């Protein structure tokens, strides 16, 4: 299969041909990518302010089944395929619906990739002196640059989703700072900082990070004090 990218506008979801049910597996997969946040966003959901990361969104199984025109067994099989192939992470949260993360969102959405493909598209373009330009080399360079730049793109979103699964235990700012530090890539952009550690336990690392965070410790002391007062 040829390498490359095309730009699909979210308006495609408004087209009656797109809306025709039932959706195919491929159509449903593209639909998930289309509805995912293109940047981190805070929303009010069931009376709570929730941070929804880039490449993620909150929905419900019933909403998706109705949108795609699917029965439960067909829907469950599709979601199982996506999870087993590490295409999405889906977490059911009490009173907060289902938090879905597209694991490889960056590789589908990065603007620089699209730009590189557009610039390398024309074949046998003429130069100003009348000579033919061989764009095969340019296309290979574009593909190599994409691979080098986005080697860890898929893993980054998965790592962020794993960190956000601790939202019930730690504040958003602490989790964001933790992510920014440990997701920093090496010079060749092949690994994140946390992947270069000899051992790694996310729960323990977060606990140690929180213990070293003065703001978190102060807030924890306030919470404990208020809890004692109300007893």
For the chain (231 residues), the mean pLDDT of every run of 10, in chain order, is 73 92 95 92 80 89 94 94 90 77 82 45 41 45 48 79 89 90 83 90 92 70 44 42
pLDDT confidence of residue 184:
85
Contact between residue 36 and residue 99 where contact means Cβ atoms under 8 Å apart: no
pLDDT confidence of residue 228:
41
Contact between residue 161 and residue 52 where contact means Cβ atoms under 8 Å apart: no
pLDDT confidence of residue 17:
94
pLDDT confidence of residue 225:
38
CA distance 199 to 67: 43
At 162, which helix (H) or strand (E)? Answer: helix 153-164
pLDDT confidence of residue 147:
53
CA distance 72 to 125: 52
Contact between residue 31 and residue 88 where contact means Cβ atoms under 8 Å apart: no
CA distance 12 to 98: 24
CA distance 90 to 97: 10
CA distance 61 to 65: 6
pLDDT confidence of residue 137:
47
């Amino acid at each position: 299969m040829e390498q490359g990218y095309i730009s699909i506008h979210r308006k495609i979801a408004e087209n009656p041909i797109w809306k025709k049910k039932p959706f195919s597996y491929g159509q449903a997969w593209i639909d998930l990518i289309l509805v995912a946040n293109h940047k981190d966003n805070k929303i009010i959901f069931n009376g709570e302010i929730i941070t929804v990361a880039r490449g993620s969104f909150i929905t419900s199984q019933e909403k998706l089944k109705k949108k795609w025109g699917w029965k439960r067994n067909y829907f469950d099989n599709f979601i199982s395929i996506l999870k087993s192939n590490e295409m999405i992470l889906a977490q059911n949260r009490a009173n907060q619906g289902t938090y879905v993360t597209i694991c490889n969102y960056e590789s589908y959405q990065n603007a620089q990739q699209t730009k590189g493909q557009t610039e390398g598209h024309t074949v046998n373009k003429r130069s100003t002196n009348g000579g033919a330009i061989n764009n095969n080399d340019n296309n290979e360079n574009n593909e190599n640059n994409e691979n080098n730049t986005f080697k860890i793109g898929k893993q980054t979103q998965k790592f962020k989703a794993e960190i956000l699964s601790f939202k019930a235990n730690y504040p958003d700012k602490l989790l964001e700072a933790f992510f920014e530090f440990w997701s920093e890539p090496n010079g060749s952009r092949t690994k994140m900082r946390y992947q270069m550690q000899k051992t790694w336990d996310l729960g323990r690392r977060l606990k140690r990070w929180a213990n070293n965070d003065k703001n978190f410790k102060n807030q924890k002391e306030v919470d404990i004090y208020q809890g004692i007062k109300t007893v």
